[in-house]
Structure 1
């Protein structure tokens, strides 16, 4: 299996490949028939194999939940048993099957806007493709999503921060724990309140923090430093908390310190 991440026409493009020991016709049924999709795809799927046909994706909640969450898409291309392309909300998914001497090659392309979430997307699809192979009859060992997620974060460079032309530092990092858990880890036993120093977990090495100027547990913490402000924001991301860290002012020298702190948090 191979994976690449690129930027094309202003969007993020994830490409993944698997060599399968099954004919394209068999794999086509597994990626298009709802009764097979339900065993490996992230949602239940309703679709009709014709161009412009609507699609429904249903995230099934726990038994007894009053309503399942649904999203929608449209079939864009159908060429059995070779090519299927459709939208899923704002995403575009493309499935290509190429016959080989031993079965077929599955080339998967996902196009979307959330580059920072690519570790989650690639990790999630990896586990889905493992499940697809089990549906096809293969024996595939279970993988730990957390390990796979962090692998792709590193491979795609999603742990790297950026420095703006004005010297501001910015990180956006997807984690696998909920925001409440991440906040507790950052805050530790210290009390977070406006006017007090920030808990040490929110401060990178070398920074002399000023007082907290905004605290909205577990969503945002802002405090001053000599050249500007440091702001942490946490929100629900794909599979866990999405953390955004910004340090305004001439902050470039702290880029590596922030990287180390955030990666320790991710670990």
Structure 2
């Protein structure tokens, strides 16, 4: 495994590398020229290839979106044909090419603030690297399943672990691989979440004494009481699927393992479900 995740200066740093059987000059064109980037990069790119040159990123599904700070960047390091580093919103992407006897090694260092999303980023870049292989004329690469890759890196990076909060409560933030509508459907089952009634069983970890629902906004939020506080489920759109945040307030550290088991069983079930 060549993928590593660390925390440096308060930010999350993802490092990846790919051995390529192609010369540096050829790969350099693929990572810097818009026409070739279009064949593998996750967004359409327009850039001024110079130090401090501006960059814009747009997505095919939303080509008319306004160019805001999250879709802008600037080139911070530029040493052709070996190094280019630029920002993409608050993210920093550093691409380095090192010659080898058989071609070159591509190094990617991605610095960002969304640690729970790191498995999504890793899986996405791996699929992009496969597409890059084709752009530079490599042999066909077997297709990988994004959801399976994602769940692999969740475990490798320890992103399935919850945390005990300062107030004694527990918190999980978990990127999932399917939309929030499907996640809600699996959690609720045949039941309906209704104010003043007990929550559907799928929203309750083993051993938690659930009280009545105090807030519900399907498929985004469900809150219910328990004897020492409340439990809140929040689902929002994330990278590649729903982002789940679960919080149980009050002295709740005893339930950390139960919540972990419930969420991981949900995540495993989602991998088997069609995204549509």
The residue aligned with 1:178 is 179
Alpha-carbon distance in structure 1 between the residues aligned to 2:189 and 2:209:
19
Alpha-carbon distance in structure 1 between the residues aligned to 2:192 and 2:4:
43
The residue aligned with 2:33 is 33
Other structure's SS at 2:96 match: strand
User: Judging changes above 3 Å, is the alpha-carbon distance between structure 1 residues 66 and 143 closer, same or farther for their aligned structure 2 residues?
Assistant: closer
The residue aligned with 1:210 is 211
Deviation sequence 1:62-108 (CA, Å, 0-9, x none) = xxx77256511111111011100000111100000111111111110
The residue aligned with 1:78 is 78
The residue aligned with 2:44 is 44
TM-score when normalising by structure 1:
0.96
The residue aligned with 2:194 is 193
The residue aligned with 1:128 is 128
Other structure's SS at 1:2 match: coil
Give 1:51 shift.
1.0
The residue aligned with 2:271 is none
Deviation sequence 1:118-170 (CA, Å, 0-9, x none) = 01000000000010011112221110111111111111000010112332110
1:67 to 58, 64, 68: 64
Say if 1:60 and 1:68, in contact at 8 Å, map to a contact too.
no
Alpha-carbon distance in structure 1 between the residues aligned to 2:177 and 2:63:
27
Say if 1:59 and 1:69, in contact at 8 Å, map to a contact too.
no
Other structure's SS at 2:177 match: coil
Deviation sequence 1:1-59 (CA, Å, 0-9, x none) = 60000111111100001111111111100000111100000011111210111111110
Say if 1:190 and 1:199, in contact at 8 Å, map to a contact too.
yes
User: Judging changes above 3 Å, is the alpha-carbon distance between structure 1 residues 167 and 178 closer, same or farther for their aligned structure 2 residues?
Assistant: same
Aligned-residue CA RMSD (Å): 1.2
Structure 2's unaligned 5+ residue stretches are 269-276
Say if 1:19 and 1:106, in contact at 8 Å, map to a contact too.
yes
Say if 1:83 and 1:94, in contact at 8 Å, map to a contact too.
yes
Other structure's SS at 1:49 match: coil
